[in-house]
């Protein structure tokens, strides 16, 4: 089958080509993101493959359908960028990667936490300038601290296990309790308890209307003063303006994010020679207790292999008329 792949990168192509080693599919790579201005590139392709920041709203889906596309394959877990109701109306199938490597994202969340707490980013910059002063680099022991895991799916559970290894007290919040989380001997709490007790809050939930801005001015006001917030899920979970205010007041002690609300205009490209006009983002990265990575939490060899193999397996199943194990449908 001919497949149009949008937002493709050089490092990703080698894994897609490896997954397509038998040459069953003809993969056409496009560097650009899928949107109305680029949807014409997909004309004639029965399958279109997209990533987290590609636009698949009703208008784009209608244009794809008109061009002959019948399958939209997401090489990611989240599907908040897809209008599933429009896809269903058009008879277009949508598949995703339900799980790839929960360890990759969970471990990156821990890396952000450790770097923020122990000021690794600041120490790195100092020592490169032969400045070995330790002033301002004091952190705290993770052992004995309370960590709140918001979203206890596969990634959240792996993160919880790692935090238990540090000797932390781990609590969870999720409207859909996980037996795996409870099997670890951990308990669920109400949102108010998270604010009272959590020294660290790590977000591992999907972006839905119910979770949009789950971290906002009110929740930050109720947070334990000096708490650290980690987000490796979706940028829309966090009200960035509210977080900036909490950082300025000292209510929030640190922030480590791999995602950002308006990341579609920034991430996955080299803007080092350009002026970034997003004032909110510029204010955010000006804080010494903030670390931003560009949506790289998933970026391990193991995760890339699974993502690409799962995506192409779904495309093969669609071509053969077989059941789509990883299909996403409107609820």
Residue 290's DSSP bridge partners are: 255
Q: What token pair was written down for 202? A: 């790590």
> Do residues 286 and 267 touch, judged by C-beta distance below 8 A?
no
Q: What token pair was written down for 279? A: 């004032």
**Cα–Cα distance measured from residue 82 to residue 64, given in angstroms and rounded to the nearest whole number:** 13
Which of 107, 108, 234, 261 is catalytic? The answer is 234
Q: Are strands 187-188 and 71-74 parallel, antiparallel or unpaired?
A: unpaired
Q: Is 234 a catalytic site residue?
A: yes
Q: What are the residue ranges of helices labelled H in 188-325? A: 191-197, 217-222, 240-249, 279-285, 301-320
Q: Is 295 a catalytic site residue?
A: yes
Q: Residue 246 to residues 55, 228, 232: CA-CA distances in angstroms?
A: 31, 11, 19
**Cα–Cα distance measured from residue 204 to residue 116, given in angstroms and rounded to the nearest whole number:** 18
Residue 281 has, within 13 A of its CA and on its CB side, a CA count of 19
Which of 295, 309, 322, 325 is catalytic? The answer is 295
End-to-end, the C-alpha distance of the chain in Å comes to 29
Q: What token pair was written down for 290? A: 């903030």
**Cα–Cα distance measured from residue 109 to residue 119, given in angstroms and rounded to the nearest whole number:** 15
79, 70, 96: which is closest to 2 by C-alpha? Answer: 70
Which of 263, 309, 320, 322 is catalytic? The answer is 263
- Active-site residues, by number, are 234, 263, 295
């Amino acid at each position: 089958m001919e497949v149009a792949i949008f937002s493709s990168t050089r490092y990703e192509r080698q894994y897609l080509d490896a997954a397509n080693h038998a040459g069953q599919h003809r993969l056409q790579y496009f560097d650009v993101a899928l949107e109305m201005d680029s949807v014409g590139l997909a004309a004639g392709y029965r399958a279109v493959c997209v990533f987290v920041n590609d636009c698949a709203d009703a208008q784009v889906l209608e244009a794809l359908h008109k061009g002959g596309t019948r399958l939209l394959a997401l090489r990611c877990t989240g599907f908040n960028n897809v209008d599933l109701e429009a896809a269903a109306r058009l008879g277009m199938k949508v598949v995703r990667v339900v799980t790839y490597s929960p360890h990759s994202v969970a471990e990156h969340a821990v890396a952000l936490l450790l770097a923020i707490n122990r000021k690794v980013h600041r120490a790195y910059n100092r020592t490169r300038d032969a400045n070995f002063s330790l002033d301002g680099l004091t952190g705290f022991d993770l052992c004995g601290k309370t960590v709140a895991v918001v979203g206890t799916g596969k990634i959240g559970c792996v993160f919880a296990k790692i935090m238990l290894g540090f000797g932390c007290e781990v609590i969870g919040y999720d409207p859909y309790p996980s037996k795996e989380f409870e099997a670890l001997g951990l308990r669920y709490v109400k949102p108010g308890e998270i604010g009272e007790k959590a020294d660290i809050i790590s977000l591992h939930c999907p972006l839905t209307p119910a979770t949009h801005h789950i971290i906002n001015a009110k929740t930050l006001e109720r947070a334990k003063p000096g708490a650290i917030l980690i987000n490796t899920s979706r940028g829309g979970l966090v009200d960035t303006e509210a977080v900036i205010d909490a950082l300025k007041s000292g209510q929030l002690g640190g922030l480590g994010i791999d995602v950002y609300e308006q990341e579609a205009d920034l991430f996955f490209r080299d803007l080092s020679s350009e002026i970034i006009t997003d004032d909110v983002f510029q204010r955010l990265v000006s804080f010494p207790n903030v670390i931003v990575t560009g949506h790289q939490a998933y970026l391990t060899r193991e995760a890339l292999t699974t993502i690409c193999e799962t995506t192409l397996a779904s495309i093969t199943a669609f071509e053969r008329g077989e059941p789509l194990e990883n299909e996403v449908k409107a609820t």
